[in-house]
Amino acid sequence: MTVAEAPAVQPGRGRGLRDVVTHRFLLRLLVRKEIQVRYRGSVLGILWSYIKPGVQFLVYYIAMGKFLKLDHGSANYAIYLFSGIIIINFFSEAFGNGARSIVANSGLIRKIYLPRQLFPISTVWVATVHFLPQILILLLASLVAGWRPGPLNLVSIVLGFLIVALFSAGMGLLFACANVFFRDSENIVDMIIMVATWTSPVLYMTDMAKNAMPAWLFSLYSSNPLTVAVQLFHHGFWDPTVEGSALPPDLYPIYLPIALALSVATIVLGDLAFRKTEGDFAQEL
């Protein structure tokens, strides 16, 4: 096919998430740049990945575990609490930074063309870099508490991470393009992140939510990908440290497939919305 016969392509539009795969080198550069910029001039650097979740854990543990006595009758409540906190923190960072990624990189987007999906997707990888130290601390604490996982426990950890990675990437794509046209989107993102901890069994036991809701509402609550991911992390880290199993009986046969389907649907919808609107990003920014 000659140049004259080549089909015209509207400038500023790419091939969606396929461009992320074919531009892996650029993705690595963006991840490295984001980490370097974030800790530029910082004395502690990446140690903040340990300090911030540690302080958050202590606040919640004292307020919920000691003051409200949620740790009474709950063996290894600290493991239960921290395993939920770190997966929600992963979502909050990946989604929050992904939603702001296009506006935050407006100077670069206005000057040159490169696949714009790289920006929100790179925030998921950056969040993963910060997630790894936290999961290392959780792993060490679980081993001290007698963690002896079986194959299903390990699979649960991988599936929980996968669900949140897909869901946060999809939400990041959706709100990244929305934020270009409607800056109020940042406030919506902040509200979603604020309530994420409370709409999943991070601080409280799942039975408490079940007893406080009608059956239909609890089914919706249980279908939330974040709720499923938190329960999977509890099953992976907390369950092997206590006698018996607190795995909800409907988690694997019903709610896990729903959560995976919703996460995949979210990233597909986010990719479609992004591809439809990215051609106008430079003009709007």
The C-alpha torsion from 39 through 41 and 43 to 47, rounded to 10°, is 0
DSSP track, 154-210: HHHHHHHHHHHHHHHHHHHHHHHHHHHH-TTHHHHHHHHHHHHTTTTTTSS-HHHHH
How many Å separate Cα 236 from the centre of its chain? 17
Residue count of the chain: 285
- The model scores a pTM over 0.75: yes
Name the DSSP letter for residue 47: G
Sequential pLDDT tens for the chain (285 residues): 454 554 555 555 566 778 788 888 888 888 888 887 777 766 666 677 677 777 777 777 777 666 666 666 677 888 898 899 999 999 999 999 999 988 888 887 777 777 888 899 999 999 999 898 889 888 888 898 888 999 999 999 999 999 999 999 999 999 999 888 888 888 999 999 988 888 899 888 888 888 889 999 999 999 999 999 999 999 999 999 887 666 788 888 999 999 999 999 999 999 999 888 887 777 776
